[in-house]
Amino acid sequence: MNQAERDRYSRQIRLEQFGEKGQQAILDASALIVGVGGLGSPAAMYLAAAGIGKLVLSDYDIVETSNLQRQIIHPDSAVGDDKVESGRHTVKALNPNCAVDVIPYQLEGEELRQVVDSVDIVLDCSDNFPTRFDLNRACVETRTALVAGAAIRLEGQIMNYQPAADSSCYQCLYPKAYGAEESCEMEGVLGPVVGVIGTLQAVQTLLILAGQGDELVNRLLLFDALSMQWQGVTLPKNPECPACGGRATA
């Protein structure tokens, strides 16, 4: 770590749980962010600002006017652009030292597995069950940490998969897609509520990279903005889980 980095990240290094060792781990780390929308915006921006070495941004959408209310990584001038390119532009403006790779299409199959295997941690910032299941499975198969967030209306949730702790995974929570999938387009969502969850994904990612973050092992955290309540729910490993069941490794 050079002096410029020591200055830039000094407030973080000062934290006893991080220190120079934790900061170096963040500088050396790479993260895949799937979905550069309401969750991915604050997650990518905070991780870049915190000094993460490399971000891989994956999204096949273009920026629309109706995104701007909550997807704060995209400025008004980016409407019509690829979300990943707009995201890269903002991240680079925040911290030019952060390397950014972009994947402007849906990651699937073996390629998804390879990209997941190539990074230290994955953030699920997507908005649909098929993507969430594929991503979770790739993380379980490659034993890559996953931080999954979701938000709709005035509610949000966050959970994670930590292979080092042999924790429960996303499909322990949702073995299969259930009912008609709800969407923010149909149900609506308050921008800062998505921001709270995406920001919390960045918090949890930084904690895990610095060797902390055990509090969310086997636990789902729910946020309700209307009642201003947080609720932690135990999320045990499901032996019947289609993704990690029977895969418990010593």
* Binding-site ranges for Zn ion (CB under 5 A): 169, 171-172, 241, 243-244
Nearest-approach distance from CB 107 to Zn ion, in angstroms: 20
Cβ(177)–Cβ(183) under 8 Å? Answer: no
Of 174 and 191, the one with the shorter C-beta distance to Zn ion is 174
Nearest to 158 by CA among 168, 166, 169, 150: 150
Which of the following is catalytic: 139, 169, 172, 184?
184
What are the phi and psi torsion angles at 117 (to 5°)?
-65, -25
229-234 and 219-224 strand pairing: antiparallel
Nearest-approach distance from CB 202 to Zn ion, in angstroms: 24
Nearest-approach distance from CB 84 to Zn ion, in angstroms: 29
Cα dihedral 246, 119, 206, 20 sign: positive
User: Active-site residue 169, yes or no?
Assistant: no
Terminal CA-to-CA distance of the chain, rounded, Å? 35
Closest CB to Zn ion: residue number: 241
| Token pair 């006017």 in the structure block, residue | 65
Q: How far apart are CA 109 and CA 135, in angstroms?
A: 10
Nearest-approach distance from CB 233 to Zn ion, in angstroms: 15
Of 211 and 239, the one with the shorter C-beta distance to Zn ion is 239
Q: How far apart are CA 120 and CA 44, in angstroms?
A: 15
Cα dihedral 74, 157, 57, 59 sign: negative
Of 61 and 214, the one with the shorter C-beta distance to Zn ion is 214
Nearest-approach distance from CB 129 to Zn ion, in angstroms: 14
* Residues labelled as active-site residues: 184
